[in-house]
Amino acid sequence: MKINSVLLTLIFLSLMTINAKGQDVGGKTLVSQSRTTSANIGNCDITIKYHSPSVNGRKIFGGIVPFDFVVDGKEYPWRAGSNERTTIEFSHNVKIEGKELKAGSYGFLVLVAKNEWTLIFSSGKSWGAFNYDKANDVLRIPVKTEDMPFQEWLSYEFIKPGTESVDIQLRWENTAVSFTVSTDALTNMMLDLNKKEHKTAIDFQELAIRTLEKDPSQKEAALEYLELSHSLLDSIENEYYRKAYAFNYKVLKGEILQSMGKQKEGNQLIEKAWDMAGRFNIYYYALRKYAVENKKGEALKILQEGLRRYPDNFQTHFAFGEYYLKEGNQQKATEHFKKAYEMTVVQEDGWMNYAQYLYLQNKLALEQERK
């Protein structure tokens, strides 16, 4: 339905007479609540800023928010909220329903129709939607509407969260629309690390790991990052962290050398790492193999070797517990958490309370599983 210019004038005049409950005009405070909601997916922050009006007994869609609001060929989209134009900001590049959108802050508007809305991401962020200029459109996405139970206040919610995607749902009255935002976590992580002006030893080690994750052929680049990490080890004042990063350096470099066919050199470095392993070194070494590299067999061998070399290291039992939880073996996980707790009691270690908590928590889970 196209709206003529006379009807547009009437609509404008009627909107001007709506009291503060609609447009918050003339009141001492804004009736429509100012809200900010945010989420993080794949190292990308998403922030939505909007004002939430109420239905207040009015007909919203097809009423005060007209369907097909186009006059003399000019579109008048809804600001998707009230008062200031709604904005959505992305800290990294994303895809909206599979369409690419660069990092940045965008004005968010909607062309409302009965069964399908057009979502508009605009570089323009002027007050309301009256000064909308199509030339500022960056992306348009059509989405189908959904019938929903009545909701008094307009809301934006993050639903169906995943590691690299989430759906954003705009809901008001009896209608909702949702759209999927996705991003590349690995690309975002590397971008953030490369942007850091003052990188630490662990930053360079992380860059080495993620470089190989992104492209396994980039072994030389990964080695360069590791050497930069090594050059910073002596500047770490905390002895525990200095030794931990030194362990990581030897293991990571040894593994890369092995993959390049330099078995002897690689084996020697990893053996040196084993000789200096302490506390949580084995824990993180094994769980990196499991969770990041998806090498379950190697992770198990590392844990077994850790117990053989350092039988008094209760942290390895922590790692065994986590390993078996991931494998769905509650009984074995509980056995290892119990062992870790018993060792902390004997050693009078500061981790005793945490170890007790893990053991009791998993003991209860095992008992409930057996019922």
- C-alpha–C-alpha distance, residues 317 and 169, integer Å: 43
What local confidence, expressed as pLDDT, does residue 138 receive? 97
Mind listing the pLDDT tens digit for each residue in 218-243? 999 999 999 999 999 999 999 989 99
112 and 191 inside one domain: no
What local confidence, expressed as pLDDT, does residue 129 receive? 60
130 and 268 inside one domain: no
13 and 109 inside one domain: yes
Taking the CB of residue 371, how many other CB atoms lie within 10 A of it?
A: 4
* Total domains present in the chain: 2
Taking the CB of residue 297, how many other CB atoms lie within 10 A of it?
A: 9
161 and 88 inside one domain: yes
Backbone angles phi, psi at 132, to 5 degrees: -60, 135
- Torsion sign over Cα 326, 328, 331, 334: positive
Please say if the pLDDT value at position 270 is more than 80. yes
82 and 61 inside one domain: yes
Instruction: Please identify, among 143, 165, 183, the residue that sits at the C-terminal boundary of a domain.
Output: 183
Instruction: Please identify, among 183, 204, 229, the residue that sits at the C-terminal boundary of a domain.
Output: 183
Please say if the pLDDT value at position 10 is more than 70. no
43 and 138 inside one domain: yes
343 and 210 inside one domain: yes
Q: Domain limits at 173?
A: 5-183
DSSP one-letter string for 214-257: H-TT-HHHHHHHHHHHHHTGGG---HHHHHHHHHHHHHHHHHHH
203 and 349 inside one domain: yes
Q: What is the CATH number of the domain that holds 191?
A: 1.25.40
Instruction: Please identify, among 156, 183, 210, the residue that sits at the C-terminal boundary of a domain.
Output: 183
Mind listing the pLDDT tens digit for each residue in 65-92? 999 998 888 899 999 999 888 999 999 9
Average pLDDT of the segment spanning 143-147: 97
- C-alpha–C-alpha distance, residues 137 and 123, integer Å: 6
169 and 199 inside one domain: no
